[in-house]
Structure 1
Amino acid sequence: MYTPKGMLDRDAQLRQYAPLVHRLAHLMIARLPASVELDDLIQVGMIGLTEALARYEPSMGVQFETFASQRIKGAMLDELRDADWMSRGSRKLQKDIESAIHRLEQRLQRPPRESEIAQELGMTLDEYHETLSRMRGTQLVYLEDLGGRSDDGEEGFLERFLPDDAEQNPESILADRRMREALVDAIQRLPEREQYVMSMYYEHDMNLKEIAAVLGVTESRVSQIHSQAVARLRARLREH
């Protein structure tokens, strides 16, 4: 699948293989406790699919679907192992940060600076940086607060944009495209340095040490920038 310019059409590939993610998630959820959310598995599975698309080479001697299935299931298993890493208190802090970012973006009509976020939270800048460090490992795809329905019955982001019958329903395919477009738009609105970190971390598979060397900062600072970028993305995706 190629674009008119001869480039691989990653968006078309994601559409083609998204049903594989859904199928594997349904198979896995059937053997898991009720506390595990299907939407969470689908989201991490999509990351596994993205990684498979980036790393697959025909010279590997295996079918892409076989290779992708291993990556997708591996991503889901990693999520299950890491699901309880964040304490309830830390998760509340994360949501507080996201809410502060959302309020400031509405008020300022631009991405808020770190100092502004800290002030909105009633913290010093050092305290805010320490909080970001405590969020280390935060993933965009941990979307318990975006999936399902809220207490007042409002549909969540995932319920609207990642329906289970995407393979069968043309409207669902369109909705899935809207979700991905929303994510791309949110990434493009990140401050430049945060875009760099997300690109190096997810697209180029660089570790924190390598990113730190490129940016000329510490690994701890890269972790803080990553956590803040994820908080911005989650805050913005709630608007869709």
Structure 2
Amino acid sequence: MIGQKSHLANIEMWKRWREEHDTVAKQTLIETYLPLVDYVSGRLSIGLPKNVSRDDLISYGVMGLIDAIEKFDYERGLQFETYASWRIRGAMIDGLRQGDWVPRSVREKAKKIEEAYQKLEQQYLRSVTDAEMSAYLQVSEGDFQQMVQDIAVTTVCSIDDPIREEEAETRLSLLIDEKAKNPESKVKEVYLKDTLAQAIERLTEKERTVVSLFYYEELSLSEIAEVMSLSPSRISQLHSKAILRLRGSLSRHKSHLFQD
């Protein structure tokens, strides 16, 4: 990814675009940061169905990059790469969602499992086992594993997904300027981090390892499979279950996080 040095080297371009609305400067910025689109599309394409075109992802991503450049304020001292990556990823997922790339039946399975994790882990106050999930869902453990495999493509989680389905507020709205004084947002951010930390702590050891390697070390699922000496499909299952558990934890605490 493009680093801090590159960002500083483009200050003049940012000034020309933001202050003078110089379209040549804007085009230069787009071309400079295009590698971000390729990077994000590579990460996002992991585990997606074969009918999802990488070219389509890139097209959506370019629109997200342009939107990020148009809205970014370089004077706030934030990293453009981080801001743009979220915008690019959100644009890609919005494009996929509009194309209805996941069958309704698969989304319903995902929701059913997420709700089961939410209820059982609230009841037991610990990470529930596959056997307990299977018993609750009234399916065999083999069928449960297949369900998790089927919904792997739905666990591509976007920062632009609504926190609550009926409202427009997104996780992106939680990203705040550290220089800005907004106590309410700060409290929500701290609470969210604490909630996620507790949820991650309750993941199984293998699930935590997958989450760490995928989101922090930025390895692909196939690379994680090699590191952990497991099959890619098993890694996909572990990733899916981890995300569903985390979503369940967020749903469980959303009434406390986002009270009016």
Task: Verify same fold: TM over 0.5.
Answer: yes
Q: Which digits, 9 at most, give the CA deviation of each residue in 1:88-134, with x for residues without a partner?
A: 22111111111211222233332111121112111111111111111
Q: Which digits, 9 at most, give the CA deviation of each residue in 1:133-175, with x for residues without a partner?
A: 111231344786742658xxxxx9969x849999563212221
**Number of paired residues?**
175
Larger-gyration structure (1/2): 2
Does residue 82 (structure 1) correspond to residue 96 (structure 2)? The answer is yes
- Out of 179, 183, 205, the position equivalent to 2:218 is 205
Q: 2:213 and 2:248 mapped to 1: Cα distance?
A: 22
Does residue 97 (structure 1) correspond to residue 110 (structure 2)? The answer is no
Change (3 A) 1:66 1:91: same
* Contact 1:157 1:238 survives alignment (8 Å): no
DSSP 3-state at the match of 1:239? helix
- TM-score between the two structures when normalised by the length of structure 1: 0.62
Does residue 179 (structure 1) correspond to residue 192 (structure 2)? The answer is yes
Letter in 1 for 2:206: R
Does residue 116 (structure 1) correspond to residue 129 (structure 2)? The answer is no
Please identify, of 80-89 and 118-127, the stretch whose mean Cα deviation from structure 2 is larger: 80-89
* Contact 1:104 1:112 survives alignment (8 Å): yes
CA-based RMSD: 3.3
Change (3 A) 1:127 1:73: same
- Out of 224, 233, 248, the position equivalent to 1:235 is 248
* Contact 2:121 2:128 survives alignment (8 Å): yes
Change (3 A) 1:208 1:190: same
Q: 2:230 and 2:190 mapped to 1: Cα distance?
A: 36
- TM-score between the two structures when normalised by the length of structure 2: 0.58
Higher helix share: 2
Please identify, of 137-146 and 90-99, the stretch whose mean Cα deviation from structure 2 is larger: 137-146
Partner residue of 1:106? Answer: 122
What is the deviation of 1:201?
A: 0.7
Letter in 2 for 1:209: S
Letter in 1 for 2:188: A
* Contact 1:157 1:237 survives alignment (8 Å): no
Change (3 A) 1:90 1:145: farther
Q: 2:112 and 2:102 mapped to 1: Cα distance?
A: 14
